[in-house]
Amino acid sequence: MQEAISDIVWELGNQKDIISTDPEDLHAHGYSSWSTVNPDELPVAVAYPRTTEHVATIVRVCHRHRVPVIPFSGGTSLEGNFSAPYGGVSIDFAYMNNIIQVNKDDMDVIVQPSVGWRDLNDELVKLGTGLFFPVDPGPTARIGGMIGTNCSGTNAVRYGTMKDWVINLTVVLSDGQIIKTRRRPRKSSAGYNLNSLFVGSEGTLGIVTEGEWRITQPFSTLKLAVLPEETSVAVVTFPSIRHAASAAASIMQAAIPMQCLEIMDEVQMRVVNLSKFTAPRVWVEKPTLFLKFAGTKGSVKEQIQLVEKITANHKGGNFEFAKDEQEQQLLWSARKESLWSMLSLRKEGEDVWSTDVAVPLSRLADIIEVSKKEMDELGLFASILGHIGDGNFHESIMYNKNDESERAKVEACVKNMVRLAIEMDGTCTGEHGVGWGKKESLLWEVGSETVGVMATIKNSLDPRWILNPGKIMEVPWERQDDHSAAKD
Amino acid sequence: MQEAISDIVWELGNQKDIISTDPEDLHAHGYSSWSTVNPDELPVAVAYPRTTEHVATIVRVCHRHRVPVIPFSGGTSLEGNFSAPYGGVSIDFAYMNNIIQVNKDDMDVIVQPSVGWRDLNDELVKLGTGLFFPVDPGPTARIGGMIGTNCSGTNAVRYGTMKDWVINLTVVLSDGQIIKTRRRPRKSSAGYNLNSLFVGSEGTLGIVTEGEWRITQPFSTLKLAVLPEETSVAVVTFPSIRHAASAAASIMQAAIPMQCLEIMDEVQMRVVNLSKFTAPRVWVEKPTLFLKFAGTKGSVKEQIQLVEKITANHKGGNFEFAKDEQEQQLLWSARKESLWSMLSLRKEGEDVWSTDVAVPLSRLADIIEVSKKEMDELGLFASILGHIGDGNFHESIMYNKNDESERAKVEACVKNMVRLAIEMDGTCTGEHGVGWGKKESLLWEVGSETVGVMATIKNSLDPRWILNPGKIMEVPWERQDDHSAAKD
């Protein structure tokens, strides 16, 4: 691996800040306190490319030396997605953070991997486009990682997930070759859908980067939706989490075009109040649905009437609206920041296990009731929240990682939720990805034959298994030896 | 190939109607008068499986003998997608045409490949679900081929294309192994998006079939949208096709949530009148936008006001609404049947060249103006129509195939449109697929490196290149020899 680092420095010239081997930097790129799991290894170097050609050079060198490369952008992932279990070089896109072009008339935008989705939206407002990018995961997530995990967020129930917004990608392949998946048509039937293959592949098939190699051509052209005309935000409380989940399923089954439909249990509502995000307003600490309506004025009014009726049928009460736009934003921020608010309440030595599943709508109330009960029985500070309109929710559990029996209990509880979701025909992850943490769950979910197809594709595009190895699926034994040899 | 046929009969028992070698049958499964191109070869047999296991057996035998297999459902494709340039066995799903399960609460449905999308919708109405399946390609298209080409239709501008509706697929791989891509979550980040890889791969990576191997599990679970509350259909005419295309782009840029937004030139309007679909009503024979509005009553009213204003800015006039639901349906049928109406006007010996492209919205008026001009200069019966809201349109040109110079002129004209679309950052096919006819165009569009990635994936999943060989990309020379050997 040291040879690879020397070669990278040699090939890219003695540019300052291209390669770091600072121990703190290595730690920050191989360990995450938000992650459910962290392998013992760290990357041996962090590379800071400025261009796609830099990335291609780095990958080509690593390919020659059979050294792993792991892409890194916002660093907010939860399943060890950017960890370095086989060492290698972490590629941090910190300096590739430009919005290259905004095509208002085509409603698309060209961006680099380290652009944050909130910065992108701020810029679109500043330019007066009237457009926005709707995919809204954790506040500090960036485009590169959002592509990696096929992320979603609160807007997904209305606007879909990351895969639905990518028009094309510039990708560095495992041997350093640069390709572009597509041009800029709004739809296409031309050949295999490489966009959807790379999106969600967590950097294991290619490294998504920027498009300097064709100056007029975009790297990652994201379709832009238009800002809705009227928005209204409300909360409604329920006597139990089961009632709240049932109401959410009924709203979706009535096909009301919700902008967002989120659930938070009484613990999370307490966290919102404690965080004082919406102070002086204090919310009832009961299982709650967060509702965002959007559309023309007339349609928002109609939607609200329908939803009030449905929630009342599920014993929903206290239907409260944010009183103005500022309170709307505060309330929604409280929801968006909920994981971070919870993290800020951690005591010394505590960790959080935060993971997600998704199930068909008809099973939502069942799984959420059982999971909440099992989670409460742990006797720990723990909560359920999530994108309930997609059948997707998260458990966040605080625990002491150094207490082995506590850690084991938490892991068993979470794995049971995953197993239950799969038995109910759901998925082990609705939006966080498989990463290092859920490879076993993916096998439970789709079976070894289907993971085998994924491995066949992986092997064909990355025969040396250098691209983010150990994520989504196990590295075959013979390749593990390769990586160990490179490390020694 | 004869050995393969004997083996299939032997393995599946002497069941009647499993294998046909009737010459008319072979012709119907290897030649299409709607197709832009037809290779000289035909399949040597047509297999009629009843179950996924039958399909697996057929593929396993063909894998052993290195014989091509080509899936066939509705037979409506336009680019030679089901042709048999290397002979082989056509798998006709005629007997696998069941709607296996409708999950109303989860809003999904389990279907087999030969279910027609109109039959599916009729059934959903009959069951009183209030749900429908929105992807609406040619009237006689069936689910299997719709998956193969990642088709769309008039509803795509609102609801997206086929890939956006598939929850999971049961697939027979090239060696006869059966896999299922996913369970039934509404969204997932679990591993590679195999759904989107198989959708649009035209049967070259695996054969999508039904799910008897896990009785409670669906084969192809298609998300169902809810029927909108109010629908309104209108036409508006323009002085030129450029004006019509500009108006369409402006409507999209204003982000009005159109249900459908179609264009038809004056020739197609004449065809509608000639077809007497909407008789006694006769439409003005000018370039026309077909508009379908849907939503709540209030929002439809708002949409119509906005669209009237925009079209007026582009010299649109004669804004006319269908007067009742029956006329709405007739008018929309006229649009949907337009290709078939045109075909019915063919004279003896005439063929039709019908092909599609898509470009970014900002280039729509440019390409459509040039294409229309070049097409008119041919002096043939020819028209432009299409899903203009997606930047997607079709040329249909009648010509005499036996007149070599006429055929060459038509081919040059169509290829020029494709080249222009690609230069404008568009795609060589928005919805028909690459098939046998557009392999060269795909190379122009994405380049040999990107087609190389597709070929690498193809080769990894189908190392003997038996699955629909010769479609999307060329068969490597060494595999062509294999197929020739098998044939001899």
Query: What is the bridge-based pairing of β-strands A382-386 and B225-226?
Result: unpaired
Give the SS3 label for residue B382: strand
- Which of A290-304, A399-413, B389-403 is predicted least confidently? A290-304
C-alpha closest to that of B274 among B183, B341, B214: B341
Could you tell me which residue, B217 or B442, shows the higher pLDDT?
B442
**Residue A271, min C-alpha distance to chain B (Å):** 27
Mean pLDDT in residue range A183-188: 88
Q: How sure is the predictor about B219, in pLDDT bands with cuts at 50, 70 and 90?
A: very low
Residue A223 has pLDDT above 80, yes or no: no
Q: How sure is the predictor about A169, in pLDDT bands with cuts at 50, 70 and 90?
A: very high
Q: For residue A387, give the chain B residue with the closest CA.
A: B187
Could you tell me which residue, A346 or A387, shows the higher pLDDT?
A387
State how far the Cα of A416 lies from the Cα of A375, in Å rounded to an integer: 10
Residue B279 has pLDDT above 60, yes or no: yes
How does pLDDT run across A67-84, given as a tens digit for each residue?
999 999 999 999 999 999
What DSSP assignment string belongs to A226-257? EPPSEEEEEEEE-SSHHHHHHHHHHHHHTT--
**Residue A30, min C-alpha distance to chain B (Å):** 21
Chain A interface mutation, best of B164, B186, B445, highest count of A Cβ atoms under 10 Å = B186
Which H, E and C letters describe B119-167, residue by residue? HHHHHHHHCCCCEECCCCCCCCCEHHHHHHCCCCCCCHHHHCCHHHCEC
Residue B224 has pLDDT above 60, yes or no: no
Residue B195 has pLDDT above 80, yes or no: yes
How does pLDDT run across B59-102, given as a tens digit for each residue?
999 999 999 999 999 999 999 999 999 999 999 999 999 999 98
**Residue B106, min C-alpha distance to chain A (Å):** 5
- Which of A198-202, A350-354, A467-471, B263-267 is predicted least confidently? A350-354
Determine the pLDDT at residue A11.
Answer: 87
Q: In this complex, which of A180, A185, A191 lies closest to B430 when CB atoms are compared?
A: A185
Residue A218 has pLDDT above 80, yes or no: no
As a dihedral over the C-alpha atoms of residue B408, residue B410, residue B412, residue B413, rounded to 10 degrees, the angle is: 160
Determine the pLDDT at residue B155.
Answer: 86
Buried-state track B313-335, b at ≥16 Cβ within 10 A, e below 16: ebebeebbebeeeeebebbbbbb
Mean pLDDT, all residues of chain A: 89
How does pLDDT run across A21-69, given as a tens digit for each residue?
999 999 999 999 888 889 999 999 999 999 999 999 999 999 999 999 9
Q: For residue B251, give the chain A residue with the closest CA.
A: A105
Give the pair of three-digit tokens for residue B295: 């939503």
**Dihedral pair phi/psi, residue B100, rounded to 5°:** -80, -35
State how far the Cα of B131 lies from the Cα of B106, in Å rounded to an integer: 11
Q: B87 and B487 in contact (C-beta within 8 Å)?
A: yes
B189 CB neighbours in chain A (<8 A) are: 149-152, 161, 200, 427, 429-434
Residue A224 has pLDDT above 70, yes or no: no
Determine the pLDDT at residue A106.
Answer: 85
B340, exposed or middle or buried, with CB in 10 Å at 0-12, 13-18, 19+? middle
Q: How sure is the predictor about A10, in pLDDT bands with cuts at 50, 70 and 90?
A: confident
- Which of B71-75, B210-214, B296-300 is predicted least confidently? B210-214
Q: B99 and B90 in contact (C-beta within 8 Å)?
A: no
How does pLDDT run across A399-423, given as a tens digit for each residue?
998 899 999 999 999 999 999 999 9
Q: Which fold has domain A230-340?
A: Alpha-Beta Plaits (3.30.70)
Domain(s) of CATH 3.30.70.2190: residues in chain A: 230-340
State how far the Cα of B239 lies from the Cα of B243, in Å rounded to an integer: 7
Chain A interface mutation, best of B189, B251, B467, highest count of A Cβ atoms under 10 Å = B189
CATH for A347-423? Answer: 3.30.70.2740
Q: For residue B423, give the chain A residue with the closest CA.
A: A183
As a dihedral over the C-alpha atoms of residue B82, residue B85, residue B88, residue B94, rounded to 10 degrees, the angle is: 20
Q: How sure is the predictor about A245, in pLDDT bands with cuts at 50, 70 and 90?
A: very high
Residue B160 has pLDDT above 90, yes or no: no
Determine the pLDDT at residue A416.
Answer: 95
- Which of A411-425, B214-228, B253-267 is predicted least confidently? B214-228
Give the pair of three-digit tokens for residue B91: 């798998």
Q: Which of residues 342-361 of A touch B (CB under 8 A)?
A: 358-361
Q: For residue A456, give the chain B residue with the closest CA.
A: B460
CATH 1.10.10.10 applies to domain B230-332: no
Distances (CA, A) of A138 to A93, A95, A220, A280, A430: 18, 21, 20, 25, 14
> Given the structure tokens 């979603």, which residue do they identify?
A152
- The identity of residue B72, as a single letter, is F
Mean pLDDT, all residues of chain B: 89
Helix (H) / strand (E) containing A65: helix A52-65
Determine the pLDDT at residue A217.
Answer: 24
C-beta atoms of B185 and A391 within 8 A? yes
A388 CB neighbours in chain B (<8 A) are: none
Determine the pLDDT at residue B483.
Answer: 63
State how far the Cα of B320 lies from the Cα of B352, in Å rounded to an integer: 31
Helices B364-376 and B241-253, axial angle in degrees (round to 10): 160
**Residue B175, min C-alpha distance to chain A (Å):** 12
Mean pLDDT in residue range B352-359: 92
C-alpha closest to that of B141 among B167, B164, B115: B115
Residue A158 has pLDDT above 90, yes or no: no
Q: Is the peptide bond before A280 cis (omega within 30 degrees of 0)?
A: yes
How does pLDDT run across A263-285, given as a tens digit for each residue?
999 999 999 888 887 788 888 99
State how far the Cα of B354 lies from the Cα of B34, in Å rounded to an integer: 8
Q: For residue A250, give the chain B residue with the closest CA.
A: B105
Distance of CA A108 to the CA centre of its chain: 21
C-beta atoms of B189 and A431 within 8 A? yes
Q: How sure is the predictor about B448, in pLDDT bands with cuts at 50, 70 and 90?
A: very high
Whether chain A has a CB inside 8 Å of the CB on B167: the answer is: no
Q: In this complex, which of B105, B150, B185 lies closest to A189 when CB atoms are compared?
A: B150
B447 CB neighbours in chain A (<8 A) are: 179-180
Q: For residue A227, give the chain B residue with the closest CA.
A: B255
Mean pLDDT in residue range A437-465: 96
- Which of A17-31, A360-374, B276-290 is predicted least confidently? B276-290
State how far the Cα of B434 lies from the Cα of B200, in Å rounded to an integer: 9
Q: Which of residues 78-117 of B touch A (CB under 8 A)?
A: 103-108
State how far the Cα of B92 lies from the Cα of B89, in Å rounded to an integer: 9
Q: A251 and A185 in contact (C-beta within 8 Å)?
A: no
A107 CB neighbours in chain B (<8 A) are: 252-253, 255, 361
State how far the Cα of A4 lies from the Cα of A7, in Å rounded to an integer: 5
State how far the Cα of B337 lies from the Cα of B341, in Å rounded to an integer: 6
Determine the pLDDT at residue B482.
Answer: 63
Query: What is the bridge-based pairing of β-strands A89-92 and A45-47?
Result: parallel
C-beta atoms of A192 and B457 within 8 A? yes
Determine the pLDDT at residue B214.
Answer: 24
Q: A172 and A188 in contact (C-beta within 8 Å)?
A: no
Q: For residue A431, give the chain B residue with the closest CA.
A: B189
**Residue B487, min C-alpha distance to chain A (Å):** 27
Determine the pLDDT at residue B12.
Answer: 87
C-beta atoms of B183 and A427 within 8 A? yes
Whether chain A has a CB inside 8 Å of the CB on B310: the answer is: no
Q: Which of residues 434-473 of A touch B (CB under 8 A)?
A: 434, 438, 441-442, 445-447, 449-451, 453-454, 456-457, 459-461, 472-473
Q: In this complex, which of A184, A360, A362 lies closest to B360 when CB atoms are compared?
A: A184
Whether chain B has a CB inside 8 Å of the CB on A386: the answer is: no
Determine the pLDDT at residue A482.
Answer: 63
How does pLDDT run across B416-430, given as a tens digit for each residue?
999 999 999 999 999
A184 CB neighbours in chain B (<8 A) are: 360, 425-426
Mean pLDDT in residue range B459-476: 95
Determine the pLDDT at residue A300.
Answer: 84
Q: Which fold has domain B99-226?
A: 3.30.465
Top-tier CATH class for B341-423: alpha beta
Domain(s) of CATH 3.30.465.10: residues in chain A: 99-226
C-beta atoms of A362 and B106 within 8 A? yes
Q: B141 and B116 in contact (C-beta within 8 Å)?
A: yes
Query: What is the bridge-based pairing of β-strands B392-400 and B350-358?
Result: antiparallel
Domain(s) of CATH 3.30.70.3450: residues in chain B: 230-332
**Residue A430, min C-alpha distance to chain B (Å):** 4
Q: Which of residues 235-254 of A touch B (CB under 8 A)?
A: 249, 252-254
Q: Mean pLDDT: which of A3-7, A298-302, B478-482 is highest? A: A3-7
Domain(s) of CATH 3.30.70.2740: residues in chain B: 341-423
Residue B172 has pLDDT above 50, yes or no: yes
Whether chain A has a CB inside 8 Å of the CB on B291: the answer is: no
C-beta atoms of B187 and A433 within 8 A? no
Residue B216 has pLDDT above 50, yes or no: no
Give the SS3 label for residue A4: helix
C-beta atoms of A200 and B194 within 8 A? no
